[in-house]
Amino acid sequence: MKAQALHGHLDALLLAVLEQGALHGYAIIEALRARSDGTLDLPTGTIYPALRRLERAGHVASTWSTVNGRERRTYQLTDSGRRALAGERAGWRDFQLTVGRFLDPGSPPTTPA
């Protein structure tokens, strides 16, 4: 799946991955790949700018550490990020219900009020 197909949802996916605990950048990419059964195989050029955007917004905090002689940045969800994730989930449910009325043949039709 291409990053462009995720337009508007990438931040929510990153927040959801970090909900499980702090991860360094490559581990985030691996978690996205694993949880999507390989469907989300996103490049670093997509993930790292989104993580920086989330950090500027206060939804993610990062720290630098040295592991086996290599510097790596670890990201974790902030309280603001948890609230943002809750809002993203609510918005996703509303979006899913609304679009499902058109695209899901099993959805009951709604009548105008």
User: Is the pLDDT score of 113 beyond 60?
Assistant: no
Does this model's pTM top 0.75? My answer is yes
The answer to whether 72 and 89 are in contact (CB under 8 A) is no
The pLDDT assigned to 1 comes to 59
Cβ neighbours around 81 below 10 Å, total: 23
What are the structural domain ranges in the chain?
Answer: 3-91
Residue 81 has pLDDT above 80, yes or no: yes
How many percent of the chain have pLDDT more than 90? Answer: 77
CATH number of 3-91: 1.10.10.10
50 contacts: CB under 8 Å, gap ≥ 6:
10, 11, 14
Interval 85-92 mean pLDDT: 96
The pLDDT tens digits for 47-71 are: 999 999 999 999 999 999 888 899 9
The answer on pLDDT for 106 being more than 90 is no
